[in-house]
Structure 1
Amino acid sequence: MLKHLVLLTLLAALLLVVPAAAANASMIENTNFITVQSSPPSADVYIDGVYQGKTPVTSPDHYEGHYNVRVVLAGYDEYIVPDLYVKPLGSGVASVTANLMKNTSIAGVVVYAEPAGVNVYVDDVYAGTVPEAKDGGLQLAGYLPGKHDFRFEKDGYNTVTKNNYMLTAGNTETLRVTLGKAAATPEPTVTIVAPTEVTTVPTTFAPSAPPTKAPVPVLGLLLGLAAAVLLIRRT
């Protein structure tokens, strides 16, 4: 009986797993690849605004549809494919080859940061997130020469700023920053004070004393009675 119960349990679990695995396999089979290369290489690649890595790069698991591809290398004009069509699986990999053009009228910046994942803002506008150290620095391109404000932020770390940083046309600046861990904010201490019990003592009112009767003049009554008796006898 126990053996049959175990077999039934395993069969039920298998029936639940197989459809899910088949569904996942079907989803993967319906996706295709996007490959991006550039000249010169090591440019940052973004697909629909999401960082994919540095050229040459292959980005998997893309469904049929249209995608925005952006290739960025400091000191060069950005290369943008605004409407790359990815065909269904089996129709060929979607490929992009970016021939980047040097631009000496603008300035470029490469940002290296510790730890990885630092968000970079230039003149209060989000510019990108610094990748892992093995992927190299964050490539920023297309800035006009002059002074710019840089801000580096990451949750749990102190913010670092570089204000009025001078960028020169035709040059690529390298910025290296290290963010220190932010001091932990102590949790506020909440002191719970037990309510003070107030004992109410009932007020006891003594009953009013009965009104005091004036003492009866007994001696005077007796004398008056004796005088009345004598008066009667004389008459």
Structure 2
Amino acid sequence: MARKISSIKSLFKYLTKQACILKNDPTVNLELPSLKKSLPKYLTLEESQELLENAANNKFNSLRDYCMITLFLNCGMRLSELVGINISDINFKERKIKLLGKGNKERMIYLNDACIQSLQDYIESRENSILEPDALFLSKKGRRISRRRVEQIVEETLQATGLSGKGISVHKLRHTAATLMYQYGNVDTLTLKEILGHKSIATTEIYTHLSNDILKNAADSSPLANIKNKKK
């Protein structure tokens, strides 16, 4: 409903202010319904480790699939960014990679040891008879892998891990990466904003929801936590 109303308001805004076909906008007082805000789904640290283990055990293209999931979980890159990576975009010496984000905007992210190792292992395993040699991730036919095929690989690996049916998708792996960095790496929201390539810090804040353990530890860390009523 909110999406439809927003479309209608945009239409009449154009008709009145840009096209000047109408004098009055009949949707001026039309309010959008309030949207329920819920925490996005993500994998726990243990589930992420299990997912990587199953990707490594895949009989076909295990090094490729393991590398893709490693990049998703460690870098928080978008599906389009991963598919578009060229080997020439990787700088192993400086441990960074160039990504083409939304709106064809380029950004650089740094690679940790796990990403460097998985990339090197996969690139060394690639066959020489390929049709797109600079494309990093390839299909069986030697061409750049498609977005849909990457989605299928993630879905198959989730199923093999016993994590299917939980609403986890490729985009949720991006959310998982940000959540793990925030919870275990003490990464602040401004740094996460740069890592994820967000324009606004408001977008990044949805990736920084706190786990129950963090909330519990915060409550227990209060200096008044151990003060009890002595007169009781």
**TM superposition score category, shorter chain reference:** under 0.3
| TM-score where L is the length of structure 1 | 0.21
Higher relative contact order (CA 8 A, sep 6+): 2
TM-score for the superposition, normalised by structure 2: 0.21
Which is richer in strand?
A: 1
> Which of the two has greater helix per residue?
2
Larger radius of gyration: 1
